């Protein structure tokens, strides 16, 4: 379907966060044009609750719109849905900015602190380790200095990649 064309890996990841795998499966098989939730369920094979939940989340994120139509004979209202993923990049941008902000905070924390670690992997800031006389309060094994250079590199790499993506899309 049409949506598959613009759904790259990053977008799929973002969508999965929003609507889950079941929602993504539904979106991938969505028919074009305006349709009712029942029709979507019928065509995509997704359960009606999943369809409604997914449409609602998409609507909340401005990725779907609906139009109400009143049946002249029965007076019933019909909701006609249309999924429009054009704004997915806005959603994506907000998510990535949040993520990169948190990564930067973590990176600063790693850069500005000295860590001690025990054999079991419990990690302490220098001050706390000193307070405990460099003995782990859990396992009572000694705390040794941890070189977090590799972790810092990994965080830097992730941040760089994320910023590259942000620059590309914004």
> Which residues are near Zn ion by CB under 5 A?
118, 120, 122, 136, 138-139
- For the bound state, the minimum distance from the C-beta of residue 109 to Zn ion, rounded and expressed in Å, comes to 21
- Closest CB to Zn ion among 18 and 118? 118
- For the bound state, the minimum distance from the C-beta of residue 134 to Zn ion, rounded and expressed in Å, comes to 11
- Closest CB to Zn ion among 73 and 138? 138
- Closest CB to Zn ion among 3 and 124? 124
Burial 42-76 (b: 16+ CB within 10 A, else e): eebebeeebbbbbbebbeebebbeeeeeeeeeeee
- Closest CB to Zn ion among 38 and 131? 131
- For the bound state, the minimum distance from the C-beta of residue 132 to Zn ion, rounded and expressed in Å, comes to 10
Strand pairing of 115-117 and 144-146? antiparallel
Residues whose CB is less than 8 angstroms from the CB of residue 125 and which lie 6 or more positions away in sequence, other chains included:
113, 114, 115, 116
How distant is the alpha carbon of residue 72 from its chain centre? 43
- For the bound state, the minimum distance from the C-beta of residue 146 to Zn ion, rounded and expressed in Å, comes to 13
């Amino acid at each position: 379907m049409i949506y598959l064309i613009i759904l790259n890996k990053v977008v799929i990841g973002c969508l999965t966060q929003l609507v889950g795998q079941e929602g993504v499966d539904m979106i991938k098989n969505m028919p074009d044009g305006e349709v009712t939730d029942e029709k979507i369920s019928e065509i995509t094979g997704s359960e009606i609750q999943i369809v409604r939940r997914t449409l609602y989340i998409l609507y909340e994120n401005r990725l779907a719109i609906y139009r109400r139509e009143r049946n002249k004979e029965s007076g019933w209202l019909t909701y006609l849905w249309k999924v429009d993923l054009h704004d997915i990049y806005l959603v994506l941008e907000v998510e990535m900015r949040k993520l990169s902000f948190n990564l930067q905070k973590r990176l600063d924390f790693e850069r500005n602190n000295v860590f001690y670690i025990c054999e079991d992997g419990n990690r302490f800031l220098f001050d706390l380790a000193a307070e405990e006389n460099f003995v782990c309060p859990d396992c009572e094994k000694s705390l040794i200095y941890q070189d977090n250079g590799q972790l810092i590199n990994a965080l830097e790499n992730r941040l760089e990649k994320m910023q590259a993506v942000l620059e590309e899309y914004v």
